[in-house]
């Protein structure tokens, strides 16, 4: 059975989707963007946006009853591949070995014109 995960400590869905779904002991997040859920503001710059997006992901996983150490796979969508190194430094603050598997792709445009979006799959 699917369980919808929702929290006000991460940006609300801006379309017909759930923030995350839990099924069979796994949590699947939707794409998480760097919107401050308290203010609706988007930080300036790729590093600040990465920090906000990963904080949002951490909060969403905690609302699901798991945590960032249980993430097994991430997908990171970035607007500019030249930001890969800076975003990778923020990523390394949140994940420790064994690191989750990851895909990172450059995309033309993201919701609200943010610089990155991340999604994750985690064990419950």
pTM of the predicted model, to two decimals? 0.96
* Token pair listed for 122: 């985690």
**CA dist., res. 114 & res. 37, Å (int):** 14
Answer yes or no: CATH 3.40.50.2300 is held by domain 3-123.
no
Residue-wise pLDDT tens for the chain (124 aa)? 999 999 999 999 989 999 999 999 999 999 999 999 999 999 999 999 999 999 999 999 999 999 999 999 999 999 999 999 999 999 999 999 999 999 999 999 999 999 999 999 999 9
What local confidence, expressed as pLDDT, does residue 67 receive?
A: 97
Question: Of 48, 104, 110, 121, which is the active-site residue?
Answer: 104
- Choose among 53, 60, 66: nearest CA to 17: 60
Active site residue 113: no
């Amino acid at each position: 059975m699917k369980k919808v995960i929702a929290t006000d400590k991460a940006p609300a869905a801006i379309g017909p989707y759930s923030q995350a779904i839990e099924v069979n002991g796994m949590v699947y997040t939707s794409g998480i963007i760097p919107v401050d859920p308290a203010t609706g503001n988007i930080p300036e710059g790729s590093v600040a946006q990465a920090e906000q997006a990963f904080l949002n992901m951490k909060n969403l996983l905690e609302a699901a009853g798991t945590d960032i150490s249980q993430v097994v796979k991430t997908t990171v969508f970035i607007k500019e591949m030249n930001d890969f190194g800076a975003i990778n430094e923020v990523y390394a603050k949140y994940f420790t070995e064994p690191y989750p598997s990851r895909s990172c792709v450059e995309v033309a445009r993201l919701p609200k014109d943010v610089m990155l979006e991340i999604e994750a799959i985690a064990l419950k």
